[in-house]
Amino acid sequence: MHRTTPLFLSALALALAGCATTDPRAPLPVVQAQLRERADVQATWPLTDDERAQADAAVRELLARDLTVESAVQIALLSNRALRATFEELGLSQADLAAASRLPNPSFSASVRWPHERPRGPNVEFALTAPLLDSLLLPLRQRLAHDQLAQVQRRVAHEILAVVASVKSAAYAALAQQDIRTRLATIAEINDTAADLARRQYDAGNISRLEHAQTQAAAQQTQLDLLRADAEVRAAHERLSRLLGLSSTQTAWKMSASLPALPDADPALDGLETLALAQRLDLAAAHAQVAFAQATLDLKRRTRFLPGTVDLGVSTERDSGGGRVTGPRLDLQLPLFDQGQPELARLSATLRQTQARAEALTADIGSEVRTAHDALTAARAAAEFFQNTLLPQRKIILRESLLHYNAMQKSPYELLLAKEQQQHAERTGVETLRDYWLARTDLERALGGRLPPSGTGVPPVIPPPSAPPAKDDAEMPAMNHQHPKK
């Protein structure tokens, strides 16, 4: 025993020298590389108190400036708590790999017995054994754990990309809702002006009570729409705050920019399905799960008739008379009643299940890409129609209404109505541009990464709310009740 034990411990030390690390961040570089290839985002995983403090400081710095779509994504990657929980999947899988890379612990047993007759000395037995079968299967176990870790890395990266897409959609929706609220405020001012003019003309006896009531009702309806728009702005703000992982004390951020410009062109459908099948990480994780299930089933088939356990070691015994016997020890669990049939059936069902899920996901991805591309094409057509047709027509109507008003051929109400209709058209333009960016984000989500290059941006479809008044706006005359009514 004394000669064998040092040899066993030496072999154990050599095996432990090649064990996988238990550092939970070890798998992170692979995830970061996958993200850079697909979305140009840098994922961080703060684990220590100092790292979390640094992340919080970076979030505060980003929130101190006006929020953009890009900075919103950065904040979410730093602060989203659900994302941090997703990162822990890497730590769990790395721990499984470390466990699979280590030799099983040896077992030590001892017994002391006393005879009923002389000699009265104790009978002492010691044994040290190690699981031989588990040690021989160590390389296979380690390879399976590596495959499982690779699958988890793909799944975590896919979930990060899903969060990025959700944040971008919420940011586009918040930007659009702010613009819509600004347009409604302008419409409310126009209708208030019309209502004030109608009140003065009604007091002067120039219009009927019906016309006065209709004008007042239109102004009041606009005020109601404005209240609803305020609520929708707050709701969009809260949805984005939740995705960013912000606390109740961090929700005082603002977004002053408008929606981004409409790009020159979008990628054609040809090749997008192939691209999605190549870069969707959830599909890669599904294929990895199929390979893992197949490898596990193959391993069980090859080892089903082996003993359940094979423990090999050395034991020594000293009898009551003082004599000692020492020698090897072998413990076997014989597969007499359970020869692996239930486990084989379970693994076979698992393999079929993972294959069916991978095939279903493959079909779904193609449909998702086609649907998202159709939505993007329709959204672009609507945005371009607004820019090239509807908005110019509304500007012509407003300009001509102003000319007719100055020529005393239009009433002030008709001029205000033309201005209101232009603002409604610009609100529609905000909605079409919002729908375009939401559809583009959905297509990126369906592709599992960025879209292929499609050109640079063009001037915005609609002027931003913060822009100076257009020429038509600047030439709007002051309304008074003395202008002739048409």
Residues with Cβ < 8 Å from 117, sequence gap 6 or more? Answer: none
Contact in structure between 140 and 300 (CB atoms under 8 Å): no
Which domains, from first to last, does the chain contain?
4-14+49-100+110-474 (1.20.1600.10)
So what's the pLDDT on residue 175? 93
* Whole-Å CA distances, 1 to 60, 222, 326, 329: 64, 94, 7, 11
So what's the pLDDT on residue 244? 93
pTM above 0.75, yes or no: yes
So what's the pLDDT on residue 116? 73
d(CA 104, CA 133): 10
Q: Three-state secondary structure along 49-84?
A: HHHHHHHHHHHHHHHCCCCCHHHHHHHHHHHCHHHH
* Whole-Å CA distances, 279 to 42, 158, 362, 439, 449: 18, 10, 12, 19, 7
Long-range contacts of 392-400 (CB under 8 A, 24+ apart): 394/421, 394/422, 394/425, 395/422, 395/470, 395/472, 397/421, 397/422, 398/422, 398/472, 399/472
d(CA 96, CA 94): 5
Tens-digit pLDDT string for the chain (486 aa): 444 444 444 444 445 445 678 888 889 899 999 998 888 888 888 888 898 999 989 999 999 999 999 999 999 999 998 998 999 999 999 898 888 888 887 888 888 777 777 766 777 787 877 776 677 778 888 888 888 899 999 999 999 999 999 999 999 999 999 998 988 888 888 888 888 888 888 888 888 888 888 888 888 988 998 999 999 999 999 999 999 999 888 888 888 778 888 888 898 898 899 999 999 999 999 999 999 899 888 888 887 766 666 677 777 777 766 677 777 777 766 776 766 778 888 999 999 999 999 999 999 999 999 999 999 999 999 999 988 888 788 777 777 777 776 667 677 777 677 777 778 788 888 899 999 999 999 999 999 998 887 643 444 444 444 443 444 444 455 555 444 443
246-274 burial by CB neighbour count: b if 16+ within 10 A, else e? beeebeebebeebbbebbeebbeeeebbe
